[in-house]
Amino acid sequence: MILRGALAGLLALACATGASAAATAAAAATCREDAVTISGDWGRAVFGVTVADDAAERAQGLMFVDSMPAMTGMLFVYDHPQRVAFWMRNTLIPLDMLFAGEDGVISRVHEGAVPHDETPIPGGDDVQFVLEINGGMAARLGITPGDVMVHPAIGNC
What one-character-per-residue DSSP string does 128-151 give?
A: EEEEEEETTHHHHHT--TT-EEE-
Q: Is 25 inside a domain boundary?
A: yes
- pLDDT, position 30: 63
Q: Is 141 inside a domain boundary?
A: yes
- pLDDT, position 154: 97
- pLDDT, position 118: 97
Q: Is 11 inside a domain boundary?
A: no
CATH code of the domain in which 45 resides: 2.60.120.1140
Q: Is 72 inside a domain boundary?
A: yes
> pLDDT tens digits for the chain (157 residues)?
333 333 333 333 333 333 334 344 445 556 899 999 999 999 999 999 999 999 999 999 999 999 999 999 999 999 999 999 999 999 999 999 999 999 999 999 999 999 999 999 999 999 999 999 999 999 999 999 999 999 999 999 9
Is residue 106 within 8 Å of 52, Cβ to Cβ? Answer: no
- Structurally, how many domains does the chain consist of? 1
- pLDDT, position 28: 54
Q: Is 155 inside a domain boundary?
A: no
- Is the torsion defined by CA of 9, 120, 111, 105 positive or negative? positive
Residue-number span of the structural domain to which 44 is assigned: 21-150
Q: Is 6 inside a domain boundary?
A: no
Q: Is 67 inside a domain boundary?
A: yes
φ and ψ of 138, to 5 deg: -60, -45
